[in-house]
């Protein structure tokens, strides 16, 4: 089974702190994603990466950066956390294979971040 | 830009009954994928069912089936013989060109009553 893990389920940080959220997948997937989930808005893509050291902006990249130094690990960084970044953050991964299960994204359990 | 709309923020169903969750999308592409994901309370998001746009036949997975109307850009999810474990947030998602970027609807919260 594909397993996507995230470093924390719950996190409380203060305004202005630098925050690291880490995601690890064990299926050798090429693609990794960071989403933000807010009530009534669904999931919105922050950044994604299709290869090591490669990244592309999603729909809401402002205030965030990412790092992918190894294929299995994708980190989301909040350089200076603000209260409007309080949210649920979901990591996902997928393969670029064109097989039957291609393009399905597998999700981690989420990190609920509160910025006070 | 592609958009996905789920017009029902909340739905409820009695155990063993059938419920249909609605989803519409907007795109100018002809080749794409559609998904329904389930997010149980405090649990991981999992894939329920997928539909390739080039396939006319509606996808089914056990008690879950879709009604895919490509011309109408509609992709509804039918859950038959509802069970208590079906209670969750359900998200409709569209896989955009390049097959990397999922676009999600706002979600429908389904309650199942015994």
Residue numbers of chain A with a pLDDT score lower than 50: 100-101
- Which of A96, A103, A107 has its CB closest to that of B95? A103
Q: Which pLDDT value is given to residue B99?
A: 57
Instruction: Report the alpha-carbon distance of residue B52 to residue A8 in Å, rounded.
Output: 34
Q: Do B45 and A90 touch (CB under 8 A)?
A: yes
pLDDT in tens, B56-83: 889 999 999 999 999 999 999 999 999 9
Instruction: Please return the burial class of A98, using the count of CB atoms within 10 Å of its CB with bins 0-12, 13-18 and 19+.
Output: exposed
Q: Which pLDDT value is given to residue A2?
A: 65
Is A43 at the interface with chain B, CB within 8 A?
yes
Q: Which pLDDT value is given to residue A100?
A: 44
**Structure-block tokens of residue B74:** 């509609």
pLDDT in tens, A3-15: 999 999 999 999 9
Q: Do B101 and A42 touch (CB under 8 A)?
A: no
Is A40 at the interface with chain B, CB within 8 A?
yes
Spell out the residues 6+ positions from residue B64 whose beta carbon is closer than 8 angstroms to its own: B36, B48, B49, B77, B78, B79, B80
**Structure-block tokens of residue B71:** 């011309």
Dihedrals phi, psi of A3, to nearest 5 degrees: -130, 125
pLDDT in tens, B37-49: 999 987 889 999 9
pLDDT score of B110 more than 80: yes
B106: which chain A residues are within 8 Å (Cβ-Cβ)?
40-42
**Structure-block tokens of residue B61:** 């997975």
- Which of B35, B46, B91 has its CB closest to that of A42? B91
Q: Which pLDDT value is given to residue B42?
A: 79
What is the rounded average pLDDT of the residues B77-93? 97
Residue A95 C-alpha, separation from nearest chain B C-alpha, in angstroms: 9
To which residue do tokens 């203060």 refer? A14
Whole-number Cα distances in Å, A96 to A99, A111, B64, B69, B108: 9, 26, 26, 27, 29
pLDDT in tens, B6-46: 999 999 999 999 999 999 999 988 888 899 999 998 788 99
Q: Which pLDDT value is given to residue B21?
A: 98
- Which of B6, B91, B100 has its CB closest to that of A48? B100
Q: Which pLDDT value is given to residue B98?
A: 63
Spell out the residues 6+ positions from residue A71 whose beta carbon is closer than 8 angstroms to its own: A28, A30, A51, A52
Q: Which pLDDT value is given to residue B55?
A: 86
């Amino acid at each position: 089974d594909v397993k996507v893990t995230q470093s924390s389920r719950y996190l409380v940080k203060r305004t202005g702190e630098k925050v690291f959220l880490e995601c690890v997948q064990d299926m050798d997937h090429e693609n990794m994603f960071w989403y933000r989930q807010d009530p009534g808005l669904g999931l919105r893509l922050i950044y994604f990466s299709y290869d090591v050291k490669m990244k592309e902006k999603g729909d809401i990249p402002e205030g965030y950066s990412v790092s992918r130094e190894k294929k299995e690990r994708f980190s989301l960084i909040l350089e200076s956390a603000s209260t409007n970044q309080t949210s649920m953050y979901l990591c996902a991964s997928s393969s670029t294979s064109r097989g039957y299960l291609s393009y399905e994204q597998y999700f981690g359990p989420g990190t609920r971040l509160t910025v006070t | 830009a592609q958009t996905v709309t789920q017009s029902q923020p909340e739905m409820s169903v009695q155990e063993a009954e059938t419920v249909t969750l609605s989803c519409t999308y907007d795109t100018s592409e002809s080749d794409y994928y559609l998904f329904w994901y389930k997010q149980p309370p405090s649990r991981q998001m999992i894939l329920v069912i997928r539909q390739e746009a080039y396939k006319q036949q509606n996808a089914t997975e056990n008690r879950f089936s879709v009604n895919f109307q490509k011309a109408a850009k509609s992709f509804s999810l039918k859950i038959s013989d509802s069970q208590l474990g079906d209670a969750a947030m359900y998200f409709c998602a569209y896989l955009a060109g390049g097959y990397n970027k999922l676009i999600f609807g706002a979600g429908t919260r389904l309650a199942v009553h015994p």
